[in-house]
């Protein structure tokens, strides 16, 4: 699986990138036909409550694109929430395909 990571207007440290990479690498256990992933890390400057870390993950799945976007206090929390949302979407997609 090809994973592309983009940190917008800042440089993400290696530890964070490895954390995200390891989380995404586990997704094929839920759904096999994942072709690639694209991750966007952003800092939202307009947020007053300091939940300004934004993670967007786009998965290229055979026949479709699956997307999740979460905002939290840390990139790790936002990544975990995004991965959970993607897992739910992939499980639903897998169940829908099996019904056919």
Residue 19 pLDDT more than 70? yes
CATH number of the domain enclosing 73: 3.30.160.100
Domain total of the chain: 1
Do 19 and 76 meet the contact criterion of CB atoms below 8 Å apart? yes
Question: How many CB atoms sit inside 10 A of residue 39's CB?
Answer: 22
Residue 52: pLDDT band by 50, 70, 90 thresholds?
confident
pLDDT at 49: 65
Predicted local confidence at residue 63, as pLDDT:
84
Instruction: Give residue 84's domain range.
Output: 2-99
**Is residue 48 pLDDT above 90, yes or no?**
no
Q: Looking at residues 56-82, what average pLDDT do you find? A: 95
Q: What percent of the chain has pLDDT over 90?
A: 77
Round the average pLDDT of the chain to a whole number and report it. 92
């Amino acid at each position: 699986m090809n994973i592309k990571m983009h940190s917008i207007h800042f440089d993400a440290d290696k530890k964070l990138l490895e954390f995200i990479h390891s989380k995404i690498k586990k997704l094929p256990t839920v759904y096999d036909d994942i072709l690639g992933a694209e991750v966007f890390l952003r800092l939202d400057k307009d947020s007053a409550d300091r939940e300004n870390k934004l993670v967007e993950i786009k998965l290229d799945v055979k026949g479709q694109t699956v997307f999740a976007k979460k905002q939290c206090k840390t990139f790790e929390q936002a990544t975990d929430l995004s991965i959970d949302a993607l897992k739910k979407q992939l499980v639903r997609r897998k169940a829908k395909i099996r019904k056919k």
